[in-house]
Amino acid sequence: MTRIIQGTPVKEIVETLRQSKGYYITNTARDLSQSDFKNRILLHTDLMAGEKRDQAGYFSLEITGGASIHVDILRKQVDPFLKLKKLRESMPQTMFQTLCRGVNLFGYRPYPQNVIRFTVREFAKYVDVWRTFDFLNYVPNMHAVFEEVGKAGKLNEPCLCFSTGPEHTNGYYVEKAGELIEVTGKDITLCIKNHGGLGTPRRIGELVDALKQKYPEVPLHYHGHNTDGNDVGRIVEAVKNGASIIDGADFAFTGYYGPPPILTVVQTLKEYGFQAEGLDEDAVIETSEVIRDQRKYYEQFESQIKGFQPTVQIHKLPGGAMGSSLEQAAKGGFLDRMPEILHKELPRVQKELGNYWSVTPGSQILWTTAVSNVLDGERYGHPSGDLRNLLLGKYGPFPFYRPEEWIYEKVLGDDWRTMLEEEGGVEEIADIDLAHERYSLAEQIGIEPTDEQLILYLQHPNDAVEFFKFEEKYGQAYVLPPSVFFRKGGFEIGENLAFRDHHGKEHMVEIGPSPINDTGETSVYLIVDHHQSIFNFKPKKVMGQAGEFADLGKEEILDLAKAGDVRSPFSGKIVEISVAEGQEVIAGDRVAIMEAMKMQTPILSEIEGIVTGIHAKKGDALRPGGRILKIDPNE
């Protein structure tokens, strides 16, 4: 039983894998979170699990990458770098693994080379295993990442994206593996990325066998999803045929579209005579015991449709996109059209567009196209920009065949041939001026950004700036448990929230009453560490809703006044309306007098014109923006 410890040189890792008789396990916590909980599992929960997971002896913990970087800053308000640093504190032994979309990094479109290299360099300080893929299996799209990972002394795990269909033969994949190995060398782990959990156990077994026959010295890592409920079967066949590493997740949180439970895999493979290398089975069980109670707080993020989806073999959506697709359908009100979209249109589009791999960002293109084909009633009538780019070859060449000409014509227009000739093909994206970007970020956040901040900004400019502002205002919110962070409906009066802050200090916050005062503001009273704090909230502005009144701002009032619509500039009483209807006024004329807090203020006309309507009378109490009278401007 040889455990591989974080910090082991790449050559030694790969050699250990080559020598081992059993198999290793990657805990794909990130993929589980993305596939079954819309990426919302908080660092708080991962930190709770940290000690036991570290003890469990996994090959690696897949905990960053994919869509998680974006969701970390957008919805979980945690710095993806800080997340890795905190996890490392509680997990000193386990290698951390990421999922990188090659030239698309952690996003949906290709990035400039210097951004890719800078990003990989910074993340490689904390990430030991780099699983890198391209949705067209186009190897040049992954070059820069491979190189930077190699330079950082970390383990490259290039992927063969896997799918099914007549083109997806062992011959194709073995040849593709050769292309990859030519670039990366053999000191890697090669991943079969079965992002939809496609194919039968037998199919996976045959593929692993074919690859092992050709490249016996390259350790294989089988990655699957349990969407159809049969990934344990595929894992068993993969291991039987020579895979060195497989993926699973903690059973307390396993759902439908992510990886299967690690424990089930371990128990099953034991029967077949395969041992999980380095694994502490008790720690696997204990991890789930520690975090089991947290699952209920994430229920709101679980899929709208419960149960396994064996039809994934037809529509081929990746596990990571199942939840979000169903959510989109529910929100968009087209859940009832899903059978048509998933079982008829999606397979059709897939075939028409070259039977490439349904994985980010290619899966989004297939999905969006199928949805709009069905909902618009006109196939390819409203192509997305990304579909146009796909046809233009911006992402890379089609792996097997090109779509038929009518699709090109429909998507790109009549002069598609010229377009293809002039604009087609993978474009070299020009490097951007990093110094300028740094400067522009500094301007926005008011301090000199760190390299890590700059990287987050380069990935998601607006969301990163919002996140930095959040951090400045609310501190390190990852310390809050999901029961607080994701609370719906507010807290109970008297409820005590205990947590330890980023600096390790224990705090207690007790919820007090939240009265609404005369100005309409709500005051939230909290007892923070035995001291009362009050937080005031302005009433939410709801325009046009009965009973709701939206106060106008000073500038809006002035703008209206300049158009002859005289409004109350503050909360106060009308003391006098100084003009009559039909009266002519010039700018500066007093039209009314208002009183507030014992002070009388004249309301002056901003324009020259005729008073055409009087809406208020003496004694009326007005809010800011309340109507007083109307003046028709002289032309």
Q: Which residues of the shown chain bind another protein in the complex (CB under 8 A)?
A: 40, 74-77, 470, 473-477, 479-480, 484-491, 497, 499, 501-503, 505, 507, 509, 511, 514, 519, 521-522, 524, 526, 528-529, 531-537, 597-599
Between β-strands 531-537 and 590-596, what pairing exists: parallel, antiparallel or unpaired? unpaired
| Smallest distance from another protein to CB 356, Å | 31
Q: In the bound complex, what is the minimum distance in angstroms from residue 550's beta carbon to another protein?
A: 18
Q: Which residue number, 73 or 160, has a Cβ lying nearer to another protein?
A: 73
Dist CA 501 CA 484 (whole Å): 14
- Paired tokens of 313: 């073999």
Per-residue CA distances from 459 to 106, 115, 247 (Å): 8, 9, 28
Complex with another protein: residue 447 or 528, whichever CB lies closer = 528
How far is the C-alpha of 35 from the C-alpha of 319, rounded, in Å?
5
Q: How far is the CB of 385 from another protein (least distance, A)?
A: 24
Nearer to another protein, 273 or 504 (CB): 504
Nearer Cβ to another protein, position 42 or 204?
A: 42
Closest Cα to residue 605, out of 567, 573, 571, 575? 567
Listed in sequence order, the residues at least 6 apart from 274 whose beta carbon sits closer than 8 Å to its beta carbon are 22, 23, 239, 240
Quick one: 156 or 453, whose CB is closer to another protein?
Answer: 453
- Cα-flanking dihedrals φ and ψ of residue 190, to 5°? -100, 130
Query: Least distance in Å: CB of 381 to another protein?
Result: 31
Q: How far is the CB of 345 from another protein (least distance, A)?
A: 29
Rounded distance, CA 437 to CA 534, Å? 39
- Report yes or no: 30 and 320 within 8 Å, Cβ to Cβ: no
Q: How far is the CB of 540 from another protein (least distance, A)?
A: 9
| CB contact set of 405 (below 8 Å; sequence gap of 6+) | none
Min separation Cβ 38 and another protein, Å: 10
Which token pair is 504? 């390790």
Using DSSP bridges, classify how beta strands 627-633 and 565-567 pair: parallel, antiparallel or unpaired.
antiparallel
Least spacing, CB of residue 506 vs another protein, in Å: 10
What are phi and psi for residue 264, nearest 5 degrees? Answer: -60, -45
Q: Which long-range contacts (CB under 8 A, 24 or more apart) does 455-460 make?
A: 455/118, 455/119, 455/122, 455/123, 456/69, 456/73, 456/79, 456/80, 456/81, 458/111, 458/115, 458/118, 458/119, 458/432, 459/69, 459/70, 459/105, 459/106, 459/107, 459/119, 460/70, 460/73, 460/74, 460/107
In angstroms, what is the minimal distance from the CB of 69 to another protein? Answer: 16
Cβ nearer to another protein, comparing 272 with 535: 535
Distance CA(111)–CA(432), nearest Å, equals 10
Task: Output 375 or 527, the one with its CB closest to another protein.
Answer: 527
Give the nearer residue to another protein in terms of CB position, either 178 or 515.
515
Among residues 73 and 238, whose Cβ is nearest to another protein?
Answer: 73
